[in-house]
Amino acid sequence: MYTVSLHQVKITAPIGLYPQEKILGNEFEVDMDVFVQEVSEQHFVDYTLLNKMIRSAFQNPETVLEVLVLKIHKAVLMQFPFVQKVKVVIRKINPPMSGEMAYAQVSYEK
- Residue 28 maps to which CATH number? 3.30.1130.10
Stretch 41-54: mean pLDDT, rounded?
91
Instruction: With a cut of 80, say whether residue 78 has pLDDT above it.
Output: yes
Q: What is the mean pLDDT of the chain?
A: 93
Question: In the prediction, which pLDDT does 96 show?
Answer: 84
Domain housing 96: 2-109
Query: What's the pTM value of the predicted model, to 2 decimals?
Result: 0.92
Closest CA relative to residue 90, chosen from 102, 79, 103: 103
> Residue 92: pLDDT band by 50, 70, 90 thresholds?
very high
CB 50 within 8 A of CB 4: yes
Of 16-25, 78-87, 101-110, the poorest mean pLDDT is in 16-25
How many domains, in total, are found in the chain? Answer: 1
